[in-house]
């Protein structure tokens, strides 16, 4: 004889299947727990590379590509997505990232090279992981704002420059770009700034499939419970405007250093937050890499993952070789095939994961 528990489980599965049958594409991936996002890099303004990078990851099968809120960057990303759509029928969401306050993801370093003493041993050049610092100063198209160079100058002439969009420019920018989704980087204690940012977004009058909220604990002497409280505040703001949330847990922001440790940080934050977080899909970010999946239990997990530094560095050698050949990656078949293969190796374990 069937038990109540058995019947309830069956009913729950029927209702879940019915719900899933009504969804498609990115929303289905969020519901099934195999959503993958590419973080193209908020400061990445190497335009030709953005088109190739987005085309590669769209072809590999990501559900969303997250870029900085910059018209030229969005145009380049769209070109890559359209290219993959025409040839392969792959059409991920385009998301733009903004911030409701000062944020390391939205800054660049700057200094006046005229002020450098002739005999300076140039420690700034050595510490920069992306060779953005040259005799002429900092190349803004390379600098991604990691901040390593800021404290190292012996005469203290390197400063950070805020690259965020002003609040008044948000609505015109979103009306012009018309993204599928927007992600707001926020942090503890900034609920009022978050509200103002949401209000500015609504003035654009653009339908958004999701509004992402990116927040983490890095650098804060607070508990996951405090973070959850803040997420609940953001949840009520989103509800007021009728936006569907997508929570991004930033395990370790700006984790250009790729290692097993960073993957653990992202997973550990998710484990602490999941039971106390507001409703809506949660995606891991900040320090995610190919090891991340190995730290999760097989029957349980977040709804998705966002890959940034690792996804970009895997494709970087192909982009550089294409540049050396004076072509783009899309027009170099061997390089293209090899790059897509690398991208698939990183994301396929997530695309094929079914556990919720």
The residues of the shown chain that bind ligand SF4, judged by CB under 6 A, are 109, 111, 116, 120, 122-124, 127-128, 130, 132-133, 138, 143-149, 153, 155, 157-158
Shortest CB 160 distance to ligand SF4, Å: 7
CA distance 161 to 149: 13
How open is the CA angle 311-316-318, to the nearest 5 degrees? 115
Shortest CB 155 distance to ligand SF4, Å: 5
Which residue, 140 or 349, is less far from ligand SF4 as judged by CB?
A: 140
Which residue, 122 or 244, is less far from ligand SF4 as judged by CB?
A: 122
Matching residue, tokens 């320090």: 287
Shortest CB 258 distance to ligand SF4, Å: 15
Paired residues of 185 in beta bridges: 99, 214
Task: For residue 12, give Cα distances in angstroms to 7, 21, 251, 299, 326.
Answer: 9, 14, 32, 17, 56
Shortest CB 151 distance to ligand SF4, Å: 10
Strands 107-110 and 93-99: unpaired
Which residue, 35 or 111, is less far from ligand SF4 as judged by CB?
A: 111
CA distance 243 to 275: 22
Which residue, 133 or 277, is less far from ligand SF4 as judged by CB?
A: 133
Which residue, 138 or 263, is less far from ligand SF4 as judged by CB?
A: 138
Shortest CB 152 distance to ligand SF4, Å: 6
How open is the CA angle 253-264-280, to the nearest 5 degrees? 70
Which 3 state secondary structure label does DSSP give 76?
helix
């Amino acid at each position: 004889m069937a038990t109540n528990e058995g019947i309830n489980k069956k009913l729950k599965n029927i209702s879940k299947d019915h719900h899933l049958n009504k969804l498609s594409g990115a929303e289905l991936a969020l519901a099934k727990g195999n959503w993958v996002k590419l973080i193209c890099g908020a400061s990445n303004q190497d335009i030709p590379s953005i088109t190739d990078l987005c085309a590669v990851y769209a072809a590999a099968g990501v559900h969303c590509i997250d870029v900085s809120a910059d018209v030229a960057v969005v145009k380049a990303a769209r070109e890559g997505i359209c290219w993959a759509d025409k040839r392969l029928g792959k059409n991920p969401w385009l998301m733009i990232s903004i911030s409701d306050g000062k944020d390391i993801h939205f800054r660049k370093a700057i200094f006046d090279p005229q002020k450098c003493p002739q005999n300076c041993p140039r420690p700034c050049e050595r510490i920069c992981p992306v060779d953005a610092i040259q005799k002429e100063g900092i190349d803004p198209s390379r600098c991604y704002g990691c901040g390593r160079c800021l404290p190292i100058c012996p005469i203290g002439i390197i400063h950070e420059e805020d690259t965020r969009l002003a609040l008044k420019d948000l609505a015109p920018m979103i009306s012009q770009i018309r993204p599928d989704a927007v992600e707001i980087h926020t942090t503890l204690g900034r609920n009022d700034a978050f509200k103002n940012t949401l209000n500015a977004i609504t003035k654009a009058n653009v339908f958004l499939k999701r509004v992402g909220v990116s927040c983490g604990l890095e650098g804060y002497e607070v508990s996951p419970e405090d973070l959850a409280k803040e997420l609940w505040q953001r949840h009520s703001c989103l509800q007021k405007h009728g936006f569907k949330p997508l929570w991004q847990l930033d395990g370790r922001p700006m984790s250009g250093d790729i290692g097993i440790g960073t993957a653990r940080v992202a997973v550990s934050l998710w484990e602490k937050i999941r039971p106390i977080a507001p409703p809506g899909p949660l995606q891991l970010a900040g320090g995610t890499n190919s090891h991340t999946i190995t730290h999760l239990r097989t029957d349980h997990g977040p709804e998705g993952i966002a890959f940034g530094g690792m996804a970009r560095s895997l494709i970087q050698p192909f982009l550089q070789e294409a540049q050396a050949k004076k072509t783009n990656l899309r027009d170099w078949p061997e390089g293209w095939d090899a790059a897509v293969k690398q991208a698939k190796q990183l994301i396929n374990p997530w695309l094929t994961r079914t556990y919720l």
